Structure formats: C-alpha cells, structure tokens
Amino acid sequence: MKTQLTFSAIGAIAVVTGAVLMADPIPTNTWTSFYDNATTYNGQLVPVGSVIEAFDPDNVNCGKFIVGSVVDSAGVYGFMPVYGDDPNSNLIDEGASLGQAISFKINSRAATVVSGDNTWTDQTQKQVRLSASGTVGIAAVTFPTDTIGAPGWTIRCVVRVQNTGDGLDFYRVTASSSRIVPWTITPQPNLVYANPGDSVNIYFDVALPIFPGVDDTADIVTFYVASQIDTSQKVGSTVLIVNSVTDVKDENGNLIPKAFALYQNYPNPFNPTTTISFALASRSDVSIQIFDVLGRTVESIDLGPRSAGTHEIEYDASRLSSGVYYYRVATSFGYETRKMVLLK
C-alpha cells in the first residue's frame, strides 16, 4: 500500500475563500476525463461554484472540478481529469488503477452515478451523470454596525455567517443604496465557501461621495448574503452609513479633514527652510512643484501616497536665490497654489 500525501489546496481553486477543502489531486501522466451537462444537486442543475471531487477505492482524491470554471453554466462539469496511480512512484498513491470504480462527491456530499461508466480506463473520456443532495442552511453570526465616515472614504462592511447545512456551501453578498442617486457599493467579487458548521466573513464596500450635496449625508444600505446552492436561503439587514460634513476622528483620535486644503507656508518670508502643510480627506498620491515668477519649474518633489489627515513637509531652498516663488501641491482631488518669499 502506498502512502497518501496531503497537500494544501491552492491554485486550482482560485475562487475559493473561507473553507479549507480537501487536498488537490496529484497530477500524473495517466488519466480518465469525466464530464456531463445535466448533473444535479437537490434535484436542480448543480449550480455554478459547486465543487465536484473524484476518489479512488482507497479514498484518494484524484480529481477536482469547480462548476463554471470552464463553461459558465449550471449542471455542466468537465472535462475533469481523474488521475491514475503512477507506476513509477512507489511511495505515493496518486490515484486510480485500471478497472477501478471511481466515486464522486458534490459539495462534500456523496454523489450517485445516474448513468455512464465510472470505471477508470487510461486516456479516455466518459460522460457520467451525477446526482447528490444535502440540506442547505445559513445563519447570521454578526452584521455590520452603523458607521460614520468622511467624504471620499470607503467603508468596508463585513457580514459573518454560519453554514448550518450538512454540505459545503458558498455565498455571495448583494447590497443596495437607498439614495435617489445611489452611492457606489462594491460587493466582494469572489464566492466565499464554508464547510458545515463553519463561520466565514463576506464583505461589501461603500464609497462615500467626495463632494456630498446638502442632503447627501447618509445612506441606509440594504444587504443580503445568500447561499448559491439555494438562493432562498439567505440572511440580511440594513446598515446606516453617515457621510459626515464635519471633521471625523480616525482610529488614532486625529481629526480627518472634510476636504483637501493647502495652507500658507511658515515662516514666510523664510531663509532657507520653511514648512509646507496640507490636509487630505482620504488617502492620495501627493506631489509638490516649486515655480519661479516666470512660471518655470525649479523643483519637483514626489511625496508618494499619503494617508488622510494633516501633513507637514519641511522645504529647503538653499540652492535657490532670493525672490518670490510659488508652491503647488497636487493630489487626486485637484491642486492648490500659494506664494512664498525667500530672503537670504
């Protein structure tokens, strides 16, 4: 008897987050490809995102396929390579041998072979129709709490749910704005998987308007997390997001400005250093340009990304001659320019 090695599931199931699934099969140069176009789960075409796995009689996982990864259609799987045992490998049991019956699971539930030949024969293609069933259930663990932010912020709302069914399940979140002109809401793009009894997080992001109108200060966001096996199984609620028109404190207790602002340098006049300060309502790339009175650029400074809040930069003008100069601070929200005087 060869030893079965366990490997972490990576790569082949790139869309899977949340659940820890069985190890990926070990590819070999022998295989049988199984496929079908009308496989079912709970009497319905197996939904996109479902995980189909194949096992040899020693319970070695020798094939795995995610419905929708090739053809975005329910009920369709394959071509799923089910690998055979490598005769040149004496220590590892990679998979099936000639004539062995292959068993299958759909979403971790044992599947019945409805039709087709499920025996392993090297380098062939076989249509095998499968059917499986399981209970589907979802329960809310925690919902996001009402949140206050500032213009330009993106608020991440996290919903934690538990799989109360008896098979692997996977979820999507939907969320909608209550505004007449909706705020931008971006659900988590990938499916989130959960084994029976496990709890997982799934999120949606709410972008607060950078330039809110007088009544554009709050949004009641309605959200649902639904099983993608049975979309009638879902949990949901609402969350209040406030877009504050006054300064808001960040996690460190510092005041976050409500808009981009450039302040007068100090001291002014100066010799040879001065402080340039500016405020950001949210994270932005920042650059500073220094101009002479003829509009020629005498220095450019790339400050890179800067977080929301007030920033101070000490500028050294040692290499410049006395005179009037202008400094411009450019951000993602625009730019502002002010005058400064260098006296040596």
For residue 331, what pLDDT is reported? 87
Domains 138-245 and 255-342 in one fold: yes
Given a cut of 50, whether residue 3 has pLDDT beyond it is: no
Q: How confident is the model at residue 121 (pLDDT cuts 50, 70, 90)?
A: very high
* Range ranked top by mean pLDDT from 5-19, 33-47, 254-268: 33-47
Tell me the per-residue pLDDT of 63-77, one tens digit each, with 9 for 90 and over.
Answer: 999 999 998 899 999
Tell me the per-residue pLDDT of 155-170, one tens digit each, with 9 for 90 and over.
Answer: 889 999 999 999 999 9
| Domain locations in the chain as residue ranges | 31-132, 138-245, 255-342
Given a cut of 80, whether residue 216 has pLDDT beyond it is: no
> For the chain, first and last CA: distance in Å?
87
Which pair of tokens denotes residue 288? 């500073």
For residue 135, what pLDDT is reported? 96
Instruction: Tell me the mean pLDDT in the region 23-52.
Output: 94
For residue 177, what pLDDT is reported? 93
Instruction: Tell me the mean pLDDT in the region 126-135.
Output: 97
Where does 255-342 sit in CATH, by number? Answer: 2.60.40.2550
Percent of the chain with pLDDT over 70: 87
Q: How confident is the model at residue 284 (pLDDT cuts 50, 70, 90)?
A: confident
Given a cut of 70, whether residue 8 has pLDDT beyond it is: no
Given a cut of 70, whether residue 152 has pLDDT beyond it is: yes
What's the pTM value of the predicted model, to 2 decimals?
A: 0.65
Q: How confident is the model at residue 316 (pLDDT cuts 50, 70, 90)?
A: very high
Domain 138-245 has CATH 3.40.50.1980: no
